[in-house]
């Protein structure tokens, strides 16, 4: 899996941070979720959509096509919503 290295966010305000886009590697400002769930973000430099997730000690940014099912917000919803169907 091609995940970028863990990044310590460069805080701009209390809600906006700058992280490296996993596609173009440029710093892009983003607003993260308040909790630790992964979310889709749009790079303001190259325009591509990527996934960012708060982790202990920083933020992990990853390409959509390289994300595991629990790291992808849409697939995570499906995986966690499935239960015993008996």
Query: pLDDT digit string (tens) for 20-71?
Result: 999 999 999 988 877 888 889 999 999 999 999 888 888 889 999 988 877 8
Contact 19, 28 (CB under 8 A): yes
Model confidence over 11-22: pLDDT tens digits? 443 468 899 999
Which among 63, 72, 68 is positioned nearest to 21, based on CA atoms?
63
Cβ-contact 43, 24 below 8 angstroms: yes
Q: Which pLDDT score is estimated for 11?
A: 43
Query: 71 is written with which tokens?
Result: 């790291």
Angle at 54 between CA 50 and CA 60, to 5 degrees: 50
Does residue 3 surpass a pLDDT of 60? no
């Amino acid at each position: 899996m091609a995940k970028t290295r863990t990044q310590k966010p460069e805080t701009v305000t209390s809600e906006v941070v700058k992280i490296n886009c996993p596609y173009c590697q440029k710093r892009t400002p983003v607003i993260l979720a308040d909790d630790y769930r992964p979310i889709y973000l749009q790079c303001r430099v190259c325009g591509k959509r990527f996934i960012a997730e708060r982790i202990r000690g920083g933020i992990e940014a990853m390409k959509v096509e390289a994300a595991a099912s629990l790291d992808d917000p849409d697939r995570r919803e499906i995986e966690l919503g499935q239960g015993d169907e008996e």
